[in-house]
Amino acid sequence: MYQAKIQSRSAFTPVRHLQYHVRTWGQATAEKTPLVMLHGWMDVAASFQFVVDALSPDHYVIAPDWRGFGQTAVPATDNFWFPDYLADLDCLLNQYVGERPVHLIGHSMGGNIAMLYAGVRPQRVARLVNLEGFGMPATQPAQAPARYVQWLDGIQQVHQGQRDMRSHDSLQSVARRLMKTNPRLAPERAEWLAQHWAREDAPGQWRIQGHPAHRIPSAQLYRADEVQEIHKCISAPTLAVEATDSDMEQWWNGSYTMAQYHQRIQVVQNLTIARVDHAGHMLHHDQPEAVAALIEGFIA
């Protein structure tokens, strides 16, 4: 199994009526600008361990499990509201760093959150790194009725147990599931991640630590024009990192392309685009050394 070079510390802190689980690496000092790492959908904070191990050891890194993921508590709800992530992040930064700016790093959904937060709280972000956070396909008002139907149906399915996470009989089964999703993931890393990605609810029943309501489509349409207006307000130097073998266009099924993403992101004032070779969407698992080198070079 993978052996972590830099051990994380695990803590729980109250955030907006929830017990939030937060991992930290390194020691906070007045001279260090903290690195805040935001994980993606159906992922956990521990997922950044490989990147942290590839960074120089003098960084102070903070990474939360988002609400309803990992060890962070599940709110008393049956669906999730995207702006809550911004509010949770705002409160976490208040607790961990006060008014100090941070280097904000997000992957996938976490990258989308980081981009929005850097636009609405530009004074709190020194440097911004977006790892494969491409946004979503643009929508039209005519899609609203069908979207509300999807949302209502999804809530009913959650209450009927139809969207529950699949149970696994062992951590090895969880690791195989991770490698099936990402064939580039090395077995020793998959085994290490499995113990953080799932929990044993009962003997021989390991369940993914992600609430099934995360699978419900949002009731709100994705307003690409509104998102671009927020991105225009980003003042931090921004590094957008892509994987050369990313499969995100397949997920979008023709409704959104990388060319459209590149056109959208040009509204960011101080933008650098970088690519990581021999990596897919989970580039922080596939090529953590290359990702760490990009981060370190950018924030230096």
Residue 284 has pLDDT above 90, yes or no: yes
**What is the pLDDT averaged over residues 231-245?**
98
**What percent of the chain stands above pLDDT 90?**
90
CA nearest to 62, candidates 10, 128, 122: 10
Tokens 């993978």 correspond to what residue?
Answer: 2
Mark out the alpha helices in the chain (DSSP H runs).
Answer: 49-54, 83-97, 109-120, 144-159, 171-181, 187-197, 224-231, 248-252, 258-265, 283-286, 288-299
Q: 19 and 72 in contact (C-beta within 8 Å)?
A: yes
- Taking only the tens place, the pLDDT of each residue in 134-172 is 999 999 999 999 999 999 999 999 999 887 878 899 999
**CATH numeric code, 1-138+222-300:** 3.40.50.1820
Domain ranges, ordered by start, for the chain: 1-138+222-300
Q: What's the whole-model pTM score?
A: 0.96
How distant is the alpha carbon of residue 190 from its chain centre? 18
Amino acid at 200: E
Q: How far apart are CA 100 and CA 213, in angstroms?
A: 34
Amino acid at 73: A
Tokens 């207006």 correspond to what residue?
Answer: 229
